[in-house]
Amino acid sequence: MQLQGKTAIVTGAGRRLGAAIAEALASRGCNLLIHHHASPQPAAELARRANALGVQAHVAQADLARVEGVHQLFESFDGCFARLDLLVNSAAIMQAVDLLTATEADWQRSMALNLKGPFFCLQQAALRMQARGGVIINISDLAGQRPWMRFPIHSISKAGVDMLTRVAALRLAPGVRVNGIAPGPVLKPEGMPLARWDQMGEALPLGRAGGPENVVQAVLFLAENDFITGETIVVDGGDTLT
């Protein structure tokens, strides 16, 4: 799919990785609905930058942990655009909890945004894409492919996203392609000392941490290559090899 003139929704696009993805799509000529939950100012600034590139960009606030919020997001989209070509499911949270003391509230919080939200966003996108085709890209995590002891619920939710990618790719083919990306260390966690981040990068086979641009490149590749579906690309500097 050539992105020039196409229209995309990027969830969690108010900041960090989602914002980088949205801005890259705009630079390729893609019109945007920029979703955020609680980042109105960064989302509005991103929309202004996208508009300056000559594309249409609108902002929509929604709580994607609730199905009603998903419907609200897509109603906002329908009010702005006539056709959806690309969905990037990027919104997520990452909470450290202990397996033996995690509560139902901990479970609900992570699973609602990390798995239920992407599922119902994918469903709504697919219903709009079926007649003319489209692309869905789910942003997963290395935690979905290898267990992270400090993040058990997060790991389970992201493993679910990987399976969602495969199930949806099979169900929606041939008209809608569905793929995923599992980033490794590409964006320093907030609050982590820079020295610790650099140390993590040096321990990777490639000897350095990555950046959002590495995930962006994978998004663009999966959007544009029309013979890949059901795959989750790992972007981790070789982390899973060690």
Contact assessment for residue 26 and residue 53, using Cβ atoms and an 8 Å cutoff: yes
- pLDDT at position 208 is 97
- pLDDT at position 228 is 98
- pLDDT at position 231 is 98
**Distance separating alpha carbons of residues 35 and 69, to the nearest angstrom:** 11
- pLDDT at position 105 is 98
- pLDDT at position 93 is 96
Instruction: For Cα atoms 137, 142, 146, give the angle at the middle one, nearest 5 degrees.
Output: 130
Range of the domain at 235: 7-241
Examine residue 102 and state whether it is found in any structural domain, yes or no. yes
Peptide bond into 174 cis (omega under 30): yes
CA dihedral for 204, 205, 209, 210, sign (positive or negative): negative
- pLDDT at position 217 is 98
Look at residues 31, 160, 27 and name the one whose alpha carbon lies nearest to residue 92: 160
Chain-centre distance for alpha carbon 124: 16
Write out residues in the chain with pLDDT < 50, as ranges.
none
Domain count for the chain, please give it.
1
Tokens representing 144 are 């979905």
Examine residue 225 and state whether it is found in any structural domain, yes or no. yes
How many Cα atoms within 13 Å fall on the side-chain side of residue 15? Answer: 10
- pLDDT at position 112 is 98
CATH number of the CATH domain containing 45:
3.40.50.720
Instruction: For Cα atoms 190, 195, 199, give the angle at the middle one, nearest 5 degrees.
Output: 105
Strand (E) or helix (H) holding 182: strand 176-183
**Distance separating alpha carbons of residues 3 and 241, to the nearest angstrom:** 33
- pLDDT at position 60 is 98
Q: What backbone phi and psi angles, to 5 degrees, belong to 148? A: -110, 110
Angle between helices 152-172 and 104-111 (to 10 degrees): 40
Look at residues 41, 42, 40 and name the one whose alpha carbon lies nearest to residue 17: 42
Examine residue 2 and state whether it is found in any structural domain, yes or no. no
Examine residue 208 and state whether it is found in any structural domain, yes or no. yes
- pLDDT at position 42 is 98
**Distance separating alpha carbons of residues 127 and 121, to the nearest angstrom:** 10
- pLDDT at position 92 is 97
- pLDDT at position 134 is 98
- pLDDT at position 35 is 98
Q: Which amino acid does the sequence have at 112? A: A
Contacts of 131 by beta carbon, 8 Å cutoff, 6+ apart: none
Examine residue 196 and state whether it is found in any structural domain, yes or no. yes
